[in-house]
Amino acid sequence: MTSLNIEKIKSTIDQWEDKERTWAMEYLHKLQLVDTDQAIAPFDRMNPFPARVLKKKMLNGEASNKEVYHLEISLEGSGFTYEPGDILGIHHDNPPRLVQAILSHFHIEGDTPFFYRDHLRTAETILHHLVEITSINAMLLKRYFKHTNHIEIQNLIDNKEEKLAYLFGHDVLDMLHDFPSNITFNQFIAMLTPRYPRLYSIASSSKKVGEQVHITIRTVRYQIKDREREGACSTFIADRIKERQLLPIFIEKNQEFKLPNPIMHPIVMVGAGVGVAPFRSFLQEIDGLEPHKKPDTWLFFGEQKEASDFLYKGEWETFQQSSTLTRIDTAFSRDTKTKTYVQHRMLEQQKLLWEWIHKREANLYICGDKHHMAKEVLQTLSLIAQEQGELSSEEADHYIELLQQEKRLQLDVF
Ligand SMILES: Cc1cc2nc3c(=O)[nH]c(=O)nc-3n(C[C@H](O)[C@H](O)[C@H](O)COP(=O)(O)OP(=O)(O)OC[C@H]3O[C@@H](n4cnc5c(N)ncnc54)[C@H](O)[C@@H]3O)c2cc1C
Ligand SMILES: NC(=O)c1ccc[n+]([C@@H]2O[C@H](COP(=O)([O-])OP(=O)(O)OC[C@H]3O[C@@H](n4cnc5c(N)ncnc54)[C@H](OP(=O)(O)O)[C@@H]3O)[C@@H](O)[C@H]2O)c1
């Protein structure tokens, strides 16, 4: 933990608007910090720092299917430090529409008091701030089954594939609708998962942006059963957080996704969609190095459409001009008749890529979708090792495993 200057925090807070200042001072009182000059930094996952949002910018063009925001957040007064590869956590509020729909389901007013975890709170506060409502997990299904003895839930629990299909995309209101019961609001909130913060790959280097942190966040919106669904944290940012407002955040170290120190070999980065975020932080960091210390760097970036989804396009161009980014290969999947993904570009460039990996001992990084992209990129690396390194499939897989063990290949996937 870092030492904090409470006077600096107080002078920062003094410049804030009334409501936010009161909230932040109450927060410091709660942590018993306001009467102390120096203290141990109290801000972490359990005690998030109220950070000022400095900038919020939509990165996609009009014709896009995506809604991705670039967020710049002030860390002034927080004591937080970070390195490229680290993670930012956000404590969000749940979507008001879903909160209201659940209240209506139980026929209760938002200001009705209930005990939740030994504290008396309004129903609205509990649903809005304290429990998970946008998603359900296997544990919740089990708890709900124990209460309801609904045979259909038992069937779902017993069938892994059906259960996973149900869990993906359904929320707690679906569970109440799909498996009606006489559960009371009190019983219901007691079985919900406590709300947990969402994590985002840091997209900046503090060497470049000073006491700020940047993230890249895709808004989750979809429709099931004629009801619009809103990802809790991503729509909190998209719809309810404006520039100059405060956001409860924390930073977590991630030793599993780090640039080498010193950087002696080339860097290869593979990122699809918002998976490109940490590579902005890597390249900002490398941009700050003396020219003779800059490694060769290669970015593979994939998204749907070049015209609307080429996230941070201008910044990659600037990095190329300053010899920070040696090479970029893009795969825009919806601009081609057959889908072109990052791994297809890697295959096209396999001879050179193998030279970077094998001869020049490049460090490789993969970030983005865990379930499909990352798996297929790893398979592609194995294929390249087979074809270019003349290895058997087992030898190639072993080669990739060794790269991971030696931390020359690192993944940040979700
Ligand atoms: C280490 C790490 C780094 C991350 N970095 C980033 C990042 O840089 N940028 C970023 O945007 N995200 C990142 N994420 C993901 C992020 O943490 C959140 O999971 C994401 O923003 C969604 O949260 P939410 O609260 O908006 O949605 P939630 O309320 O959590 O809802 C998400 C749920 O919606 C469902 N769902 C989502 N899409 C659909 C769909 N199309 N159809 C049906 N159901 C669907 C799924 O069941 C999913 O569990 C990262 C995650 C991790 C673990
Ligand atoms: N938990 C959540 O709800 C949540 C919220 C936000 C983001 N995420 C995750 O964050 C990651 C990034 O999301 P994103 O929308 O920015 O990007 P994304 O969905 O990963 O899409 C980026 C690019 O990757 C392509 N792609 C699709 N399948 C692929 C595959 N098998 N191999 C390689 N590329 C593939 C996409 O093409 P096509 O689209 O044309 O197929 C698109 O061009 C994903 O894991 C996403 O699920 C999760």
234 Cβ below 6 A of ligand 1: yes
* Residue listed under structure tokens 């609904």: 150
d(CA 224, CA 226): 6
pLDDT digits (tens, 9 = 90+) for 193-228: 999 999 999 999 999 999 999 999 999 999 999 999
Torsion, Cα of 228, 234, 236, 237 (10° steps):
-130
201 Cβ below 6 A of ligand 1: yes
Q: Which atom of ligand 1 is nearest to the CA of 275?
A: 8
pLDDT given at position 280: 98
pLDDT given at position 5: 61
341 Cβ below 6 A of ligand 2: yes
The alpha carbon of 413 and the centre of ligand 1 are apart by a number of angstroms equal to 11
The alpha carbon of 218 and the centre of ligand 1 are apart by a number of angstroms equal to 8
pLDDT classification of 325: cutoffs 50, 70, 90:
very high
Which residue, by CA, sits nearest to atom 27 of ligand 2?
373
The alpha carbon of 404 and the centre of ligand 1 are apart by a number of angstroms equal to 25
pLDDT digits (tens, 9 = 90+) for 149-167: 999 999 999 999 999 999 9
* Count of other CB atoms within 10 angstroms of residue 389: 13
Residue 97 one-letter amino acid: R
d(CA 47, CA 260): 31
pLDDT given at position 33: 54
Tokens describing residue 216: 């890249």
Q: What is the CATH number of domain 96-191?
A: 1.20.990.10
Q: How far is CA 380 from the centre of its chain?
A: 25
Q: Is the model's pLDDT at 182 over the cut of 70?
A: yes
Q: Is the model's pLDDT at 100 over the cut of 80?
A: yes
Q: What is the mean pLDDT of residues 309-316?
A: 98
**SS3 label, residue 81:** coil
288 Cβ below 6 A of ligand 1: no
Q: Which atom of ligand 1 is nearest to the CA of 132?
A: 29
Percent of the chain with pLDDT over 90: 90
Helix H or strand E encompassing 306: helix 306-309
E strand residue ranges, 111-231: 113-116, 119-122, 198-201, 212-218, 221-224, 227-230
196 Cβ below 6 A of ligand 1: no
Which residue, by CA, sits nearest to atom 5 of ligand 1?
200
8 Cβ below 6 A of ligand 2: no
Q: What is the mean pLDDT of residues 95-115?
A: 98
pLDDT given at position 37: 47
pLDDT given at position 362: 98
Q: What is the mean pLDDT of residues 103-131?
A: 97
353: exposed, middle or buried (Cβ count in 10 Å: 0-12, 13-18, 19+): buried
pLDDT given at position 259: 98
Nearest to 373, CA basis, from 300, 311, 316, 308? 300
The bound ligand whose nearest atom lies closest to the alpha carbon of 65 is 2
Q: Is the model's pLDDT at 40 over the cut of 90?
A: no
Helix H or strand E encompassing 409: strand 409-413
Torsion, Cα of 150, 154, 160, 161 (10° steps):
-40
- Rounded to the nearest integer, the mean pLDDT of the chain is 93
Assess whether the region 40-91+197-252 and the region 96-191 belong to the same CATH fold: no
64 Cβ below 6 A of ligand 2: no
| pLDDT top residue among 8 and 142 | 142
What is the residue extent of each domain of the chain? 40-91+197-252, 96-191, 267-413
Single pTM value for the model: 0.92
Q: Is the model's pLDDT at 262 over the cut of 90?
A: yes
259 Cβ below 6 A of ligand 1: no
pLDDT classification of 8: cutoffs 50, 70, 90:
low
374 Cβ below 6 A of ligand 2: no
pLDDT given at position 36: 45
The alpha carbon of 166 and the centre of ligand 2 are apart by a number of angstroms equal to 20
d(CA 365, CA 199): 19
The alpha carbon of 66 and the centre of ligand 2 are apart by a number of angstroms equal to 10
Tokens describing residue 170: 């359904």
Q: What is the CATH number of domain 40-91+197-252?
A: 2.40.30.10
Tokens describing residue 314: 């201008």
pLDDT given at position 29: 58
pLDDT given at position 42: 80
* Count of other CB atoms within 10 angstroms of residue 148: 17
d(CA 54, CA 57): 10
* Count of other CB atoms within 10 angstroms of residue 91: 20
The alpha carbon of 368 and the centre of ligand 2 are apart by a number of angstroms equal to 7
pLDDT given at position 16: 65
pLDDT classification of 6: cutoffs 50, 70, 90:
low
The alpha carbon of 310 and the centre of ligand 2 are apart by a number of angstroms equal to 14
DSSP category for residue 332: E
Class of 267-413 in CATH: alpha beta
d(CA 72, CA 67): 17
302 Cβ below 6 A of ligand 2: yes
pLDDT given at position 14: 66
pLDDT digits (tens, 9 = 90+) for 346-394: 999 999 999 999 999 999 999 999 999 999 999 999 999 999 999 999 9
The bound ligand whose nearest atom lies closest to the alpha carbon of 372 is 2
pLDDT classification of 13: cutoffs 50, 70, 90:
low
Nearest to 329, CA basis, from 300, 306, 357, 353? 300
Q: What is the mean pLDDT of residues 323-347?
A: 97
Vertex 309 angle, CA 307 and 310, to 5°: 80
